[in-house]
Amino acid sequence: MTGTAPLLSTRELTRHFGGVVALAGLDLEVRRGELLGLIGPNGSGKTTFFNVLTGIFPPTEGDILFAGASIARSTPQAVYRAGITRTFQRSRLCLELSIFDNLAIGAHGRLEHGFVFNVFRRKALGRQADEIAAAGADLLEVFDPPLARRLHEPMAGVAMIDRRRVEICRALMSRPRLLLLDEPSAGMTADETTRLMDDLLEVRRRFGELTIVLIEHAMSVIQRVTDRCVVLNYGRKLCEGTFAEVSSDPEVRRAYLGLR
């Protein structure tokens, strides 16, 4: 079922902030169904890459092709509709809302937003709410079964690690084709990180074709879960390949791993 064409490819992708060059002509491919690790030192342009990809900042130059169509300069909303969702480096859940609400935000594209439907057809609305709740509970179940039973509790009372899980579930609620994870393990212990990655692999198994790009600092994680890695430095691709290939590259070792 997978063709040879990559799911996502960028050409000469460039982004300036004033005088600072965050992305400098990045050429990158993400293949269908793979889990690609994106690594590089701080300030190498990883998060900017996500931000440009999801339309938060338009690229200064270059193009992005997703499933054959250009999404460079699309709005974030259009990128979402094309099938890309993400998590954020600093968790951006709505803490005032319940877990359910946050998941529903993730499922925005599937929901009925008509005024009449929402205000007057409460039975149908209730059914849709139940569907979303069930789908959300299913997802949470994979990560942490007790969490699935706390669906209607406010987010603010949820522990940090569970917030990470909810945030990933929110991104998954829309059944994306490409999932962008920005350091999901930040602030977690090694054990928690391992569990989270296992859960992620489990979700991927269940979902069938889900392509993931993962920004991560913990090399053990990258080593364990990624199919392939891309190393960024100064907004450019330094090299790519399996973790073993990448980690033995002398340039990478010099620039990033700090090894001689």
Partner 1 sequence: MTAYRPALRVLSALALGAVIGILIYGLLAAESEKAVGLVLLAVALTVAAGLRTGVLPRLARAAGSGPLLGSVALAGVVLIAVFHDDPFVLLLVARALLVLVACLGLHVQFADAGVPNFAGAAFFGVGGYTAAVLGAGEIPHLLVLLASGAMAAAVGSLLLLPLLRTRGHYAALITIAFGLLFRTFLEVNEGLGGPQGLKLPGLRILGFAFNDDRQLLGLEVSGFAFYCLAAGVLALGAVWLVRRVERSWLGVSLDAVRLDETAAACFGISLGRWKIAALTLGNAIVGVAGGLSAMMVGFIAPNNFTFQESLVLVSILLLGGLGNLAGLAAAALIVVWVPEKLQPIQEFRYLLFSVLVVLVLVLRPGGLVRRRARQAFGSAAA
SS3 call for 240: strand
Q: Candidates 47, 98, 185, 247: give the one binding partner 1 (CB under 8 A).
A: 98
Q: Should residue 149 be labelled a site residue for partner 1 when binding is judged by CB under 8 A?
A: no
Span near partner 1 by CB under 8 A; candidates 1-9, 129-137, 206-214, 225-233:
129-137
SS3 call for 127: helix
Q: Should residue 49 be labelled a site residue for partner 1 when binding is judged by CB under 8 A?
A: no
How many CA within 13 A on the CB side of residue 181? Answer: 28
Q: Should residue 128 be labelled a site residue for partner 1 when binding is judged by CB under 8 A?
A: yes
Span near partner 1 by CB under 8 A; candidates 126-134, 193-201, 219-227, 228-236:
126-134
Q: Where are the alpha helices (DSSP H) in 62-189?
A: 76-82, 99-106, 115-120, 122-143, 145-148, 160-172
Q: Should residue 186 be labelled a site residue for partner 1 when binding is judged by CB under 8 A?
A: no
Would residue 5 be called left, alpha or beta, if left means φ above 0 and alpha means ψ between -120 and 50 degrees?
beta
Span near partner 1 by CB under 8 A; candidates 62-70, 95-103, 189-197, 252-260:
95-103
Give the Å distances, CA to CA, from 243 to 17, 71, 200, 220, 223.
31, 29, 19, 10, 6
Q: Should residue 74 be labelled a site residue for partner 1 when binding is judged by CB under 8 A?
A: no
Q: Should residue 170 be labelled a site residue for partner 1 when binding is judged by CB under 8 A?
A: yes
Span near partner 1 by CB under 8 A; candidates 53-61, 141-149, 203-211, 230-238:
53-61
* Contact call for residues 95 and 156 (beta carbons, < 8 A): yes
Q: Should residue 174 be labelled a site residue for partner 1 when binding is judged by CB under 8 A?
A: yes
Q: Should residue 97 be labelled a site residue for partner 1 when binding is judged by CB under 8 A?
A: yes
Q: Should residue 254 be labelled a site residue for partner 1 when binding is judged by CB under 8 A?
A: no
Q: Should residue 138 be labelled a site residue for partner 1 when binding is judged by CB under 8 A?
A: no
Span near partner 1 by CB under 8 A; candidates 148-156, 189-197, 210-218, 227-235:
148-156
Shortest approach of partner 1 to residue 221 CB, angstroms?
A: 23
Print burial letters for 147-185: b (CB count within 10 Å at least 16), e (below 16): bbebbeeebeebeebbbbbbbbbbbbbbebbbbbbbbbb
* Whole-angstrom distance, CA of residue 65 vs CA of residue 174: 20
Shortest approach of partner 1 to residue 228 CB, angstroms?
A: 25
SS3 call for 107: coil
Smaller CB distance to partner 1: residue 141 or 198? 141
Q: Which tokens hold the place of 208?
A: 């069938």
Tokens 């993962």 found at: 214
* Whole-angstrom distance, CA of residue 158 vs CA of residue 139: 17
Residues of this chain that bind partner 1 (CB under 8 A): 54-56, 75-77, 79-81, 85-86, 88, 92-98, 100-101, 104-106, 108-109, 111-113, 115, 118-119, 122, 125-130, 132-134, 151-152, 154, 170, 174
